Amino acid sequence: MEKIELEVAGISYSQTQTGAYALVLQEIDGDIKLPIVIGATEAQAIAIEKEGLMPVRPLTHDLFVKMASSFAISIIEVNIIDFKDGIFFSELVCERGSAIVKIDARPSDAIALALRFRSRIFIKPDILDKTGIRLPSDKNGNSEQPVEAQDDTAVKDKTVEQLNKMMEIAIEEEDYEFAAIIKKELDKR
């Protein structure tokens, strides 16, 4: 399977869904960001691990790591393998000795575990092309704003869910001009 490696870029509170968060993944060797809406518990689990914090009592994901490690099971990678009806699907690729087993998992849980196991995160290129947001580089090579901010025709082929995710990122990055373009497209629909 051809795949692209991702890393966790950040987490922000969802502006469009109460009680939800946007997990933002980004290409390691590229300029595409992938927002995924996740629940508060998973957002907390990811943030705690990213910040290197140690809870007083183990969280569910920490307990899973201890249990898997006790039986010599490791997660060697996480793959985001599908996107249907606005929902991402992923799998844990687990290893025990010479046995490799793939286990269905929500991306939020899979990524929380990948961070704890120091595993790599991958996505199929066609899924990233369909759901990702490409950010152009400035003359110093830094990503600044979504490409769509330059041309409102690029938002017309996006789904409502993709537009909502793009809106979250635009607001988080204080790109209100682009947020207005997205809002205008959402209002048309």
CATH of the domain at 22: 3.10.690.10
Based on the fold, state whether residues 36 and 58 are members of the same structural domain.
yes
The total number of structural domains that make up the chain? 2
Based on the fold, state whether residues 115 and 144 are members of the same structural domain.
no
Averaged pLDDT in 10-residue chunks for the chain of 189 residues: 92 75 91 90 93 89 96 98 94 97 97 98 95 64 42 71 80 69 78
Based on the fold, state whether residues 95 and 184 are members of the same structural domain.
no
Q: pTM of the prediction? A: 0.72
The pLDDT assigned to 171 comes to 72
The pLDDT assigned to 135 comes to 62
- Residues 6 or more apart whose CB falls under 8 angstroms from that of 121 comprise 5, 6, 7, 8, 25, 77, 78, 80, 110, 111, 114
Backbone dihedral angles phi then psi of residue 108, each to the nearest 5 degrees: -65, -45
Based on the fold, state whether residues 59 and 87 are members of the same structural domain.
yes
Based on the fold, state whether residues 37 and 92 are members of the same structural domain.
yes
The pLDDT assigned to 5 comes to 98
The pLDDT assigned to 155 comes to 77
Domain that holds residue 148: 138-188
